[in-house]
Amino acid sequence: MMSRNTELAKIHLGKKQLGLDDDTYQVMLEDMFGVSSAAKLDYKQRYRLLRHMEERGAVFIAKQQTAPKPEKDFYAIPDNAPYMKQKRYILALWKKLGWKTSGVDIYMKEQFDVESFVWLKDQAVLQAIAKDLVKLCQDQGIEVE
């Protein structure tokens, strides 16, 4: 079981990842638990809040772990990542174009100010990326399924 401070830190990380302003965050806490601060939650409520945030796209990585990074031209998308299938499809297109997966995070940082492709949770952006990659593949005569 995580310490209270660790859970609170994760909650605030989730708040940031989901782009919640203070007012929206406090309304969410009021609606779910009748409190205006996560500090007033018991451990079961903190757990429920963390799961709620994960369902909406927050990604929590244990301190001992690091975000998945390309390794030997392989990029792991966890099964619980938001839009996992879409992200894996984009990576497959990326590889078909002959591009190294080590460039995925660089591209995401430059284009969308996201440190890791795994953390990208805007489906419209993912669809646009996939559409662009399909077009590039077609322009180069690469078959796309």
Distance from C-alpha of 30 to C-alpha of 25, rounded to nearest angstrom: 9
| DSSP secondary structure code for residue 118 in this structure | G
Going by C-alpha positions, the residue among 70, 67, 15, 55 that lies closest to residue 38 is 15
Would the pTM count as exceeding 0.85?
A: no
User: What is the model's pLDDT at position 76?
Assistant: 80
Q: Is the pLDDT of residue 70 over 80?
A: no
Distance from C-alpha of 145 to C-alpha of 117, rounded to nearest angstrom: 22
Average pLDDT of the residues in 16-30: 90
User: What is the model's pLDDT at position 143?
Assistant: 87
Average pLDDT of the residues in 60-75: 61
User: What is the model's pLDDT at position 35?
Assistant: 94
